[in-house]
Structure 1
Amino acid sequence: MIEFLSPLYQLAWPFALAASWLAGEILYRFLGMPRIAVYALGGFLFGNLAASYLPPSEAGAFLLLANFGFGLMLFELGYRINLGWLRHNPWILITALAESLCTFGAVYFVATFCGRPPLASALLASLAMAASPAGLVRVINEQHSSGQVTERALHLSALSCVLAVFTFRVVIGIGVFQTEGDVLHAAWSSLVVLAVSASLGGLFGVVVPVWLRSFEDGARDATLAFTIAVFLLVLLTHVLKFEPVLAALTFGIVARHRRIVLSPAQRNFGVLGDLLSVLLFFYVAATLSWGQVLSGFALGLLLVLVRALVKTLMCTVFARVSGITARKGMFTGLALTPMAVFAILLLEQTRRLGVDLFHSLAPLAAIALLLEVAGPLVTQRAIQLAHEARTVREK
């Protein structure tokens, strides 16, 4: 019987991914529902119905592939960041600092008020600072959107990710110092890891464009070269236990400013990027158990509402001084709703370092599920209300 079921176990993930992709296409075409939200629902159902019967090695392999997919999205986000725009309009940077720090403060206050330990509250608050680039980039590309809300949301997402990773690593370092009393280990867990990760990304961002310029048709082959480079960078940081989020984002930012152009037709990195996005959103939702979601649902829902309110309020407050209307500032804040993929993969990275935080952050599972499904819907609606969507659903 076991010999008969073994091939079925091996086919479970591929068939579940195919079913989620098919459901995503159908619901997008007929209802306009973001594909990634459907992938997440499929992953959550699969994770609670069948994943416990699969060998652990399967999950490890899919984690690495999910990190590859996330790395491509982070590179694409970094590639769209214009540092010159930030220099000419510093209010965007100020907005990012204000909304991220206020989000941290509000989530930390609510979590501690509801009885969560200070360290767990700080970890939740640091994760809540970020707007996940995965959900944002996929919805923007799916809607073919462009405009002030779209560009500001992308820039704010990148800045909030950097701030969130830095804060999260600092909190982890404080936790390590409290438990082990080792200052060197605490420092390595935070600042040194971030510096090395950013340096690796910057090195790739310099070397790859130089290599491409050595060929006459380098620009034509840029998409493939960058894809392979992102894979190598994610694998390197994964093996060395550095921070692939910061490395891939830095790679994209530096590569853009080395003047190597990616064709607009290569957004999402083509078919490979589409395939990895299905796997990424499916895998992240599959890690969430129904019991964890229920145990932290009340506080998780409250923190989701607090986070959305603070981000929307801050973006609205700083809208006029940064050059847009308050209405567009509000839509920008709403577009920053996605968070789940960033949070879950960051926690999986810390688990590989021997620090398992997921079970101490009960509300996070509920937050992740809510924002995995609702986040893309809110982003899509914000872009549409801002009249920046260019997509027409196929019937």
Structure 2
Amino acid sequence: MTDPYVSLAQLAWPLALVLSWMAGEILFRWTGLPRISIYGLAGFAFGNLAKGFAAPTDDNAFLLLANLGFGLILFELGYRINLRWLRANPWIVATSLAESSLTFVAVVLVAQAFRMPALAASLLAALAMASSPAGLVRVFNEQQAGGQVTERALHLSALNCVLAVFAYNAIVGIGVFQTSGNLGHAAAASLLVLGASALLGSVAGMLVPRWLRGMGRAGSSGGDATMTFALAVLLLVAVTHVLHLSPVLAALSFGLVARHRRSALGVAQRNFGALGDLLSVMLFVYAASTLDWQHVWAGLGLGTLLVIVRLTVKVGVCAAFARVSGISVRKGALSGLALAPMGVFAVLLIEQTRRLGVDLFHSLAPLAAIALLLQLAGPLISQRAVIAANETPYDKEA
């Protein structure tokens, strides 16, 4: 006869996901808070309460599912990137380079002022460069946001994620996996990972639209196109997971190439329907559940300071580049404010590194605090930014 305790332990994760989803729906309707902030809070609480109770889980399986959910969001972000706009307005690229670089420098300086080792400070700074596409896309879709601040924030997020992945891989290559400390070698290895990932995504972006055209569904906005793109993203992310490549760049490249191959996604495909919603709950709950309360508490002081420094730099740079890039200083500042989310992106990169045998959370205690703070507050800040910019339907009607 099955032990009731064992049966309850096996139900822990399904119950956590259902309760997290229910809490997200209820609080979104009552308070207007972003659902993903509630998922994150629920995941953090579950992850710390379930220790010693929940049944042993296959971390690789959960990480793969989380990456699949992240991959769907990244594909959608890549699909929304307009290369013609970036070519016509190179100041957007300049803004991304400036805000990413200055964020890196500022975080390194502050972390080292608190006597954090150079390697740990550099890894933390590389992660701080990025703005989590998962937070931005889900919040903007939830708010049905559209406009200069929304589109600029999405483009800046895509650019700084690529820069962050390159910097992070190079630093990990130098400090963790290579004894020579050869910067050129580590940078070349990082470029090889990014190149292979982008190539995989680009191939998918060429083949899938061709398949849809061959099946007579290239212009479809119904479930057929949704299923085709979703399955392709799932396969692509699974391949990068197995080959230890970057699912971030692969999924972004897939969406980018698919868009410019003129394969149309209808409005019905946003968030990939019920499949995307389910995997998003898994993604945000899982990411927050990996954060340990002891690590959060140990790094809370420095983590809070670094959150303020990071956001100040991004807002300041975006405001400084606003007029030359064609928008008002106010909208530039709001674009920088919208870049607040970071938690899911950082957690998944750290978890991928952990698969290679290196647990960086022990040496990056402030990261746990930063990830939790920006997992909860980041989506709310992004939501407030697009509302302040009058880029939600409710504000436009008003």
Moved more, 346-355 or 173-182: 173-182
1:36 corresponds to which residue?
36
Counterparts of residues 215-294 of structure 1 (less than 5 Å): 215-220=215-220, 221-294=224-297
Counterparts of residues 98-177 of structure 1 (less than 5 Å): 98-176=98-176
The separation in 2 between residues aligned to 1:114 and 1:183, in whole angstroms, is: 25
Amino acid at match of 2:204: F
Asked if 1:9 corresponds to 2:12, the answer is no
| 1:69-121, Cα deviation, whole Å (9 max, x unpaired) | 00000000000000000000000000000000000010011001110000100
Asked if 1:306 corresponds to 2:309, the answer is yes
Amino acid at match of 1:79: Y
Return the offset for 1:225: 0.7
Is the CA contact (8 Å cut-off) linking 1:177 and 1:185 kept in structure 2? Answer: no
Return the offset for 1:356: 2.1
Return the offset for 1:182: 8.1
The separation in 1 between residues aligned to 2:187 and 2:349, in whole angstroms, is: 18
Is the CA contact (8 Å cut-off) linking 1:209 and 1:260 kept in structure 2? Answer: yes
1:76 corresponds to which residue?
76
Moved more, 212-221 or 161-170: 212-221
The separation in 1 between residues aligned to 2:3 and 2:126, in whole angstroms, is: 46
**Alignment coverage as a number of residue pairs:** 392
Return the offset for 1:350: 1.2
2:377 corresponds to which residue?
374
Return the offset for 1:219: 3.2
Amino acid at match of 2:28: Y
Return the offset for 1:265: 1.8
Cα 1:181–1:111 change in 2 (3 A) is closer
> Structure 1: where are the runs of 5+ without partners?
none
Secondary structure, aligned partner of 2:341: coil
Secondary structure, aligned partner of 1:126: helix
Secondary structure, aligned partner of 2:33: coil
The separation in 2 between residues aligned to 1:20 and 1:297, in whole angstroms, is: 24
TM-score by length of 1: 0.96
Return the offset for 1:266: 1.3
Amino acid at match of 2:359: D
Cα 1:183–1:386 change in 2 (3 A) is closer
Return the offset for 1:180: 5.9
Amino acid at match of 1:120: A
Is the CA contact (8 Å cut-off) linking 1:172 and 1:189 kept in structure 2? Answer: no
The separation in 1 between residues aligned to 2:180 and 2:356, in whole angstroms, is: 15
Secondary structure, aligned partner of 2:75: helix
2:318 corresponds to which residue?
315
The separation in 2 between residues aligned to 1:34 and 1:136, in whole angstroms, is: 11
Return the offset for 1:226: 0.7
1:21 corresponds to which residue?
21
Is the CA contact (8 Å cut-off) linking 1:144 and 1:391 kept in structure 2? Answer: no
Over aligned residue pairs, what C-alpha RMSD do you find?
Answer: 1.7
> Structure 2: where are the runs of 5+ without partners?
none
The separation in 2 between residues aligned to 1:391 and 1:230, in whole angstroms, is: 33
Q: Which residue among 321, 327, 330 is the counterpart of 1:327?
A: 330
Is the CA contact (8 Å cut-off) linking 1:222 and 1:260 kept in structure 2? Answer: no
Amino acid at match of 1:67: N
Return the offset for 1:362: 0.8
Return the offset for 1:389: 1.2
The separation in 2 between residues aligned to 1:162 and 1:265, in whole angstroms, is: 28
Return the offset for 1:188: 6.9
The separation in 1 between residues aligned to 2:257 and 2:96, in whole angstroms, is: 20
Return the offset for 1:171: 0.7
Return the offset for 1:183: 8.6
